[in-house]
Amino acid sequence: MHYEKHILKNGLRVILAPVAEAPTATAIIMTGTGSRYEKKENNGISHFLEHLFFKGTEKRPTTLDIATELDGIGGAYNAFTGKDRTGYWAKANKENAHIALDVMSDVFLNAKFDAKEINKERGAIIQEMRMYEDMPSRRVEELFENLLYGDTPLGWDIIGPEENIKTLKRNDFMSYLDQKYRAENIVVCVAGGFDKKKTFEYIKKHFSEIPGGYVREFEKVNDVQKKPQSLVYKKKTDQTNFVVGVRTFDMFSKDRYALSLLATILGGGMSSRLFIEVRERRGLAYRVSTGVESYHDAGYLATHCGVEHKNLEKALDIVLKEYKKIARNGVDAKELKKAKECIKGRMAMGLESSDDIAEYLASQEVIRDEITIPEVIAKRIDRVSVGDIQRVAKEIFRSDRLNFSVIGPDVDEKKIASLLKL
């Protein structure tokens, strides 16, 4: 992967990744802020603000004006908010790359944040909140992080509480913008087919006036526990969804590659151990998967499963037995090699298009302050040994790291408590 990094005088970072044969180009503007940089009284403001950027500028006064111009070139566009980043992007064919960049730049730099639009958008966000509440397969993952990180910014929901959505004022948004949307905390990335020289000159011209002076600060979490924890949310659903996992490492840990391989072996595909045991051999679930999440100061490995209500304890028991088994017996060289090729193959497929490349580069630069190219990651993956996998498995699969969240109508909490041990 080839890219160039430039730093403007105000500290804003520009990443350019031209791909000569690419038929499309993507422009993404990303800030290193999200819900973990909020306070309790403004939790949800990062996500709310993301919506407001698309409500009109002086040049494009309404949402319809913005959408019409991008739709008129067949563009794709959207935005997203995470716990540690917020991104705004547009993608178009390479002939119209300059239009996509111009629209997104205008949206990002010149949004009006009209008080009437703020009031209208409250209702849309509350309906978005309701929508997620009706999606237990998603909501249970949020509950898992609520359980892990508690009443801290990292444990709060990205969308925030309804009370905040109803009461945030224009001055709150402007103050938050002034604090977090500083040049040193912003990355502009363009990837795919575009004119590199003209694009850089455009970015330099339009983004050089953003003020600097940003210092990244967030409340660190106490990533330690002494016994298994559970969070049970009883709700009438057609399926019981649960997440079970363990605290692991932060994003800078030397063992992050071994951890990714461990998750892949356990539940990273249709030939993974848990997919075979839970779905293929017993037919207990349609979805069963294991993944890893990591932050600056914390991380976890977790398995997500959706089952018939009566099969909750049975499925949970199988997952925990597989955790214990891999810690006790490890993996063989053949299984590890398959996992390595799986990760490398998916990484390659995940970077096929301009939007994938742009988000990858911008995210790495914003969150980690450095970019590790896929070729380097592949080499580090290849260096992981069978011994590394078992060492990491033994370290993390312990009862005092175990956490469990569940959404369903008929959860026997005493039974669950008796099963939560490794």
Encode pLDDT of 379-412 as tens digits. 999 999 999 999 999 999 999 999 999 999 999 9
C-alpha 422/C-alpha 224 separation (Å) is: 17
Encode pLDDT of 59-111 as tens digits. 999 999 999 999 999 999 999 999 999 999 999 999 999 999 999 999 999 99
Tell me what the pLDDT averaged over the chain comes to. 97
Are 332 and 273 within 8 A, CB to CB?
no
Is the confidence at residue 1, as pLDDT, over 90? no
Are 298 and 149 within 8 A, CB to CB?
yes
User: Nearest CA to 354 among 127, 26, 33, 71?
Assistant: 26
DSSP-derived pairing of the beta strands 186-192 and 13-18: parallel
Are 5 and 371 within 8 A, CB to CB?
yes
Residue carrying the six token digits 């312990």: 398
Task: Please give the pLDDT value at position 413.
Answer: 94
Say which residues have a Cβ less than 8 Å from residue 360's Cβ, sequence separation at least 6.
Answer: 350, 351
Q: Which residues of 373-392 are buried (b: 16+ CB within 10 A; e: fewer)?
A: ebeebeeebeebeeebbbeb
| Continuous segment of H or E residues that includes residue 26 | strand 24-31
Encode pLDDT of 31-51 as tens digits. 999 999 999 999 999 999 999
What are the E-state strand segments in 297-394?
A: 299-307
Q: What does each C-alpha distance from 376 to 207, 347, 372, 379, 414 come to in angstroms?
A: 31, 12, 6, 5, 47
pLDDT band at 216 (very low <50, low <70, confident <90, very high): confident
C-alpha 354/C-alpha 350 separation (Å) is: 10
Tokens, residue 332: 């063989």
State the DSSP code for 57: B
Q: Sheet harboring 285-294: ordered strands across? A: 229-234, 402-408, 240-247, 299-307, 285-294
Domains of the chain, earliest start first: 4-207 (3.30.830.10), 229-419 (3.30.830.10)
DSSP SS3 for 387 = helix
pLDDT band at 215 (very low <50, low <70, confident <90, very high): confident
Encode pLDDT of 113-122 as tens digits. 999 999 999 9
Encode pLDDT of 188-202 as tens digits. 999 999 999 999 999
C-alpha 336/C-alpha 185 separation (Å) is: 38
For the purposes of burial, counting CB atoms within 10 Å of the CB of 276, is it exposed (0-12), middle (13-18) or buried (19 or more)?
middle
Q: What does each C-alpha distance from 27 to 19, 97, 339 come to in angstroms?
A: 13, 8, 33
Are 43 and 160 within 8 A, CB to CB?
yes
